[in-house]
Amino acid sequence: MKESELKKILTKPVMDQSMDQRITDSLLYHEANAGKKNYKVGWMRTGYLFSQKVLNYSISKIAIAVFVLAIVGVGTAWAARSDVKSYSTDIKIMTEEEIDEEELLYPDSEKTIKKRYGTGNKMIGLLMDHNGNIREIDEDGYYTFEDGSKFLAPFIPDPNRHDNDRKSGNEAFAEIGYSNLIPTYLYENYLLGEGGFVYKEETLSNNVNHQYIDASFFQDYLYKDFTESIYIHFTSSETSVKDPASIFIVDNDDENNYIYSSYTTKGGILCSALEDEENNSVMFHINFDSETMGNGMMSIEFINMKMDKMKEILDTIPLTEDNADSQTIE
């Protein structure tokens, strides 16, 4: 390929009119409200900015194959002696070329249902001090400066946003018959991503029903280049997830360095961890069985966060392991 052809391809995509209009509207919307001092906008939960968007949480064949392998591969029922049992997970890094899709027995998806809960949170810019710290807004919606002067904030966060996020989580997990499994620390200190909880149900060609929930959380009040963020993926399973505890991460960059470790929460839940130093990202994976709560696999990925904070968050996962002997620590 010639350089001119590369340039032609790179510069070919042009923003379509509908996207252009949505972005323009959102910018004007921000602008209009920024000028109205008595206009309370805060954390919009109306979905105004996103109502016209097509859902974009499509999952790749590869990702699906990972979980299909994990779920379909189990045939034996498991008799639980204690309520929750967690297992270690073998996390493998593979390139796309290394993955043999035939071997993964990927069945085609016949039917997909997708629902969202709690959409519309929008990160907004708030006033900072000299050190780049976000200034607090009091209950009346004012910033207070060092000299005692006050300034009405153009945006006032919704005081109910954390409760709303928790309720949305309850609804999303109830959709698959589970209790809310999101670490409670996140509801108290972070904000649900604007896409909300994404519930997805797929009926595969082999009649296996596959249900999962995606959610992301971000730092509350912050709006910086490198914010902390947390991505959660939960997959339910009708059968035990003890044996096929293996997931694949697709990474085609052979220069990345990964570190494997594990952490056991204060509640006794074993979390297998994979750290990607290059991207300042750590993914914890939890496989658990429970007769009362159901079986499932949960991935919690932390980006730009300290290990102490990650552990503090993991400790608030509402799962408690009673029988430590059930864990298979490598």
Partner 1 sequence: MNCLISERSNEMENVQCAEQWISEELILEKYSLYKNILFQIAISYLGNKYDCEDVIQEVFIRLCYHAPEFEHDENEKRWLIRITINLCKNHVKSFWNRMKVPIDGLEEYFSQDEDKEIMSDIIRLPAKYKTTILLHYIVGYKISEISEILSLTESAVKMRLKRGRELLRVELEDVK
- Ranges within 210-239 binding partner 1 (CB under 8 A): 214, 223-227, 229, 231, 233
User: What does the alpha-carbon distance between residue 302 and residue 313 come to, in Å, rounded to a whole number?
Assistant: 10
Residues in the chain: 330
Give residue 198's identity as a one-letter amino acid code: V
324 binds partner 1 (CB under 8 A): no
202 binds partner 1 (CB under 8 A): no
- The only residue of 101, 113, 145, 188 in contact with partner 1, by rule CB under 8 A: 145
**Total binding residues toward partner 1, as defined by CB under 8 A:** 78
User: What does the alpha-carbon distance between residue 88 and residue 73 come to, in Å, rounded to a whole number?
Assistant: 17
Between 56 and 76, name the residue whose CB sits nearer to partner 1. 56
- The only residue of 158, 175, 243, 251 in contact with partner 1, by rule CB under 8 A: 251
3-state DSSP assignment of residue 248: strand
Nearest to 235 by CA among 205, 186, 199, 279: 199
Per-residue b or e along 73-95, where b marks 16 or more CB atoms closer than 10 Å to that residue's CB:
ebeeeeebebbbbbbbbebeeee
- The only residue of 51, 252, 261, 323 in contact with partner 1, by rule CB under 8 A: 252
- The only residue of 132, 207, 292, 325 in contact with partner 1, by rule CB under 8 A: 132
Report residue 78 CA to chain centroid gap. 29
3-state DSSP assignment of residue 307: helix
154 binds partner 1 (CB under 8 A): yes
- The only residue of 301, 305, 310, 313 in contact with partner 1, by rule CB under 8 A: 301
125 binds partner 1 (CB under 8 A): yes
259 binds partner 1 (CB under 8 A): no
- The only residue of 286, 303, 305, 317 in contact with partner 1, by rule CB under 8 A: 303
User: What does the alpha-carbon distance between residue 137 and residue 184 come to, in Å, rounded to a whole number?
Assistant: 24
Element holding 20 (H helix, E strand): helix 17-34
Give residue 99's identity as a one-letter amino acid code: I
- The only residue of 105, 113, 128, 307 in contact with partner 1, by rule CB under 8 A: 128
User: Closest approach of Cβ 306 to partner 1, in Å?
Assistant: 16
- The only residue of 276, 287, 288, 296 in contact with partner 1, by rule CB under 8 A: 276
User: What does the alpha-carbon distance between residue 208 and residue 294 come to, in Å, rounded to a whole number?
Assistant: 17
Contact 216, 233 (CB under 8 A): no
Binders in 78-117 for partner 1, by CB under 8 A: none
4 binds partner 1 (CB under 8 A): yes
26 binds partner 1 (CB under 8 A): yes
User: Closest approach of Cβ 20 to partner 1, in Å?
Assistant: 7
49 binds partner 1 (CB under 8 A): yes
148 binds partner 1 (CB under 8 A): no
Contact 324, 268 (CB under 8 A): yes
Binders in 54-83 for partner 1, by CB under 8 A: 54, 56, 58-63, 66
Nearest to 64 by CA among 19, 117, 106, 24: 106
Per-residue b or e along 159-181, where b marks 16 or more CB atoms closer than 10 Å to that residue's CB:
eebbebbbebbbbbbebbebebb
Between 84 and 283, name the residue whose CB sits nearer to partner 1. 283
19 binds partner 1 (CB under 8 A): yes
191 binds partner 1 (CB under 8 A): no
Between 198 and 317, name the residue whose CB sits nearer to partner 1. 198
